[in-house]
Amino acid sequence: MKKIYVFISLLLVVMSSFSQKEYISIQDKIDSLIKSKKVPGIIAATSQKNKRDFYTSGFANKAIEEVFNLETQLEIGSITKTFTAYILTSILKEKNIDVSTSIGAFLPDSIRKNKTVSGITFLQLMNHTSGLPRLPSNMDMGKNPMQPYINYDLNNLYSYLKKAILDTNKKVSYSNLGMGLAGVLAENISKKSYEELVKKYITVPFKMKSTGLTTKENLPIAVGYFNGAAAEYWDMNALKAAGGVKSNANDMLTYLEYILNHPANKILESVTTISAPINNRISIAKGWHLLIETGKPEIIWHNGGTYGFSTFCAFDKVNGTAVFVAINAFNMNAISDGLGIEIMKMMADRK
């Protein structure tokens, strides 16, 4: 999962140039991307005022030429962080803990001695202003290069936090470590596993039947590709709250529609309200990012990337629109992000 901000400049280019283009259909667009960008497969799912459409091109599994369908499972990568922000915010509210509370009291005594770490607030974890790096320095990715997180357990995480030195600048700096820690804190406070928390706060109330930390045996599974070779689905161990969820296009639209259809939900309002600026057009809420143009509705979005998938989702509360895009290949976020934003603009213009 790369820094999300690598793709901000591309998003802004898409936005500024879109009005100059002649619109083509979404299906034509993704067919063109398959041909010109040589990606294995694409699925795009849209919702406009709860009316759904799905578009696919290429293959979810090249070896058997199996195409994507609505139930095809895949890794959503860092979109998981939006789940984590919702879960943690819900738990804090239930326990009457303010988001500005420092996290030290909910970690082992040995970590509390590191005053810079123990002084981080819950909000700073969720809006990436904690000063924690993108990844901890004691990760040994060489043991299994295709599974960079699998050996990083809670002992490794706590060992790192005891000695961690933060960037005290406190500006937004995207951190898989920070959101992974947010998930650990949710576990510590609730006394439940992250898997249990996903079920309690996300998949059951949102009615997402095919989403979780593991794939379902009765549903098709997309193959992700890393430089043309089939990639393993990640086991993210202690940092699973940063990107370990598997889902499909059907469930992801259900997730986005739930957000759009529940404007009175205080937790959803909280996690989608700006909490820190990044620049004059991009801000961050809790987990979610906001793309802002003068005189136009905010586009609330997040993307994700693993060694097998590049994903993007977004929604617009004003127009009641949402999109989920997935490409089953590594390092294709420039394509999935650009396509997702373009689709959002198309739906806004045809409202």
Report the pLDDT averaged over residues 17-38: 76
Secondary structure of residue 121 in the 3-state scheme? strand
pLDDT band at 351 (very low <50, low <70, confident <90, very high): low
Hey, what's the torsion of the CAs at 176, 130, 5, 210, to 10 degrees? 40
Secondary structure of residue 344 in the 3-state scheme? helix
DSSP secondary structure letters along 246-266: EE-HHHHHHHHHHHHH-TT-H
Residue 202 is classified by DSSP as I
The per-residue pLDDT for range 109-118, each reduced to its tens digit, is 999 999 999 9
Packed helices 26-37 and 333-349: angle between N→C axes, nearest 10 degrees: 160
The predicted structure's pLDDT at residue 262: 98
218 burial type by CB count under 10 A (0-12 exposed, 13-18 middle, 19+ buried) = exposed
Give the number of residues written for the chain. 351
Cα separation, 149 vs 179, in Å, equals 14
Kindly tell me if the per-residue pLDDT of 143 is higher than 90: no
Cα 246 to chain centroid distance, Å, stands at: 11
Residue 345 is classified by DSSP as H
Kindly tell me if the per-residue pLDDT of 346 is higher than 80: yes
Q: CB 296: neighbour CB atoms within 10 A?
A: 14
Cα separation, 135 vs 177, in Å, equals 5
Report the pLDDT averaged over residues 147-167: 97
Nearest CA to 180 out of 164, 194, 198, 190 is that of: 194
Report the pLDDT averaged over residues 17-33: 71
Based on its alpha-carbon atoms, the radius of gyration of the chain, rounded to whole angstroms, reads 19
Nearest CA to 256 out of 157, 347, 176, 185 is that of: 347
Please state the CATH superfamily assignment of the domain spanning residues 4-77+207-349 in this structure: DD-peptidase/beta-lactamase superfamily (3.40.710.10)
Report the pLDDT averaged over residues 292-317: 96
pLDDT band at 92 (very low <50, low <70, confident <90, very high): very high
80, amino acid identity: T
Q: Which element (helix H / strand E) includes 230?
A: strand 229-231
Q: Are 74 and 309 in contact (CB under 8 A)?
A: yes
Nearest CA to 257 out of 316, 302, 177 is that of: 316
Percent of the chain with pLDDT over 90: 89
115 burial type by CB count under 10 A (0-12 exposed, 13-18 middle, 19+ buried) = exposed
Report the pLDDT averaged over residues 128-139: 97
The predicted structure's pLDDT at residue 3: 46
* Cβ density class 146-180: b for 16+ within 10 Å, e for less: ebbbeebeeebbeebbeebebeeeeebbbbbbbbb
Residue 67 is classified by DSSP as P
Kindly tell me if the per-residue pLDDT of 75 is higher than 90: yes
Strands 310-316, 321-327: parallel, antiparallel or unpaired by DSSP? Answer: antiparallel
Nearest CA to 336 out of 71, 17, 34, 22 is that of: 34
The predicted structure's pLDDT at residue 248: 98
Strands 246-247, 41-48: parallel, antiparallel or unpaired by DSSP? Answer: unpaired
The predicted structure's pLDDT at residue 142: 75
The per-residue pLDDT for range 244-281, each reduced to its tens digit, is 999 999 999 999 999 999 999 999 999 999 999 999 99
The predicted structure's pLDDT at residue 38: 85
Q: Could you tell me the residue ranges of all domains in the chain?
A: 4-77+207-349, 83-198
Percent of the chain with pLDDT over 70: 93
Kindly tell me if the per-residue pLDDT of 150 is higher than 70: yes
107, amino acid identity: L
Report the pLDDT averaged over residues 3-16: 48
Q: Which element (helix H / strand E) includes 321?
A: strand 321-327
Which residue reads 């398959």 in tokens?
Answer: 34
pLDDT band at 11 (very low <50, low <70, confident <90, very high): low
Kindly tell me if the per-residue pLDDT of 145 is higher than 90: yes
